Amino acid sequence: MCLALPVRVEQILSGERAVVDIGGVRKEISLALVDGIELGDYVILHVGYALARLDPEEAQRTLDLFAALEQEAPS
């Protein structure tokens, strides 16, 4: 039940609610726990609530780190 997913915000509704896209399925969720979410942002969705905003730049940096390690000499 702790499973949570990164989802894209498709539409901001009134009352701290939004419509998100979950792999092609649209669903209404609550934004009551996070401020400043904008259209197109990715949020982590858990039991119907956005828990946090996902930072695309940090995501890319992490992926680069996975790949860049290849060249690193063994310590």
Our finding on whether 49 is near other proteins (CB under 8 A) is yes
Which residue lies nearer to other proteins by CB, 11 or 55?
55
End-to-end CA distance of the chain: 39
Is there a contact between 44 and 35 (Cβ–Cβ < 8 Å)? no
Q: How far apart are CA 22 and CA 44, in angstroms?
A: 11
Q: What string marks each residue from 54 to 73 as x (binds other proteins by CB under 8 A) or -? A: xxx-xx-xxx-xxx-xx-x-
Candidates 9, 20, 35, 41: give the one binding other proteins (CB under 8 A): 35
HSE-up of residue 31 (Cα within 13 Å, Cβ side): 24
Binding residues (CB under 8 A) for other proteins: these are 1-6, 8, 23, 30, 32-35, 42, 44, 46-49, 51-56, 58-59, 61-63, 65-67, 69-70, 72, 74-75
